[in-house]
Amino acid sequence: MMRILLTRPRADAVELAAELARRGHETLLQPLMEIEPRTGVTIDFSDAQAVLATSANGVRAIAAATSAREIALYAVGDATARAARAVGFTRVVSAAGDVNALARRVTDDLDPTAGRLIHVAASEIAGELQADLGRQGFTVERVTLYTAKPATTLAGEVKTALRNNEIDAALFFSPRTARTFAKLTTEAGLVSSCRLIVAVCLSAAVAGALQAVPWRLIAVAVRPDQAALLTALDVFQERR
């Protein structure tokens, strides 16, 4: 059994915490992003052939903004696809990877002349999805439905756990949250407390954002999806 720090937004962390509990782990939540939906956004689906969702937050935001569920929805990964099905979308395709995998799947499946693509996103986005698909002849309209604001401080219980060396692993899903964690631990004077913690990262880009922190180990998932990240965590546990 390990005590694992979860850094995802709260809605995503709750599902992940349940999965880790099933595996026998204890979790500590430290959301490093707060999701704030935008209100009053109108989405025009006329002439659109599909929605592109690069996070479960985007899925939840579009579900709140419109009752339409019939349009095809292409999800960046399996967790985002599950979120889309959970809110009623009936034509869901998972790219099972990152934004590059999503661009490849869309290019393979869809015809640029068949209609616009609507990318539901935050006010700040990672990757070049719109540009990549544009080069393939697609018209991509980005609709900003929420803002992801970085945390400004660590929770008291997280500071205490770090100070007392009570955390075995920390999971990171984006470069932005990784940078936020590095900044907040530095400001709290707790960087040295990470020396006994393994950082398990969704990708090499996420790992790169954590290099300033002296971890016990940085482990990177072999694929940019949650299943592979949890496998990397399992490998570390077996080697402890």
- Select from 149, 181, 216 the last residue of a domain: 149
| CATH code: domain of residue 80 | 3.40.50.10090
Smallest CA-to-CA distance from 87 within 11, 29, 13, 6 is with 11
pLDDT recorded at residue 37: 84
229 and 138 co-located in one domain: no
pLDDT recorded at residue 39: 82
pLDDT recorded at residue 126: 61
Q: Which amino acid is at 121?
A: A
User: How many structural domains comprise the chain?
Assistant: 2
- Pairing between strand 92-94 and 72-75? parallel
pLDDT recorded at residue 125: 62
Q: Which residues of the chain have pLDDT under 50?
A: none
pLDDT recorded at residue 97: 86
- Pairing between strand 140-150 and 33-37? antiparallel
78 and 178 co-located in one domain: no
9 and 100 co-located in one domain: no
Whether 33 contacts 6, CB under 8 Å: no
pLDDT recorded at residue 236: 85
Helix residue spans in the chain (DSSP H): 10-22, 56-65, 78-86, 99-109, 129-135, 156-163, 175-187, 204-208, 226-239
pLDDT recorded at residue 238: 77
The domain of 168 spans 3-32+152-239
Task: Give per-residue pLDDT as tens, 82-117.
Answer: 999 999 999 999 999 888 999 999 999 999 999 999
- Select from 126, 149, 172 the last residue of a domain: 149
Sheet containing 33-37: which strands, arranged edge to edge? 33-37, 140-150, 116-122, 48-53, 72-75, 92-94
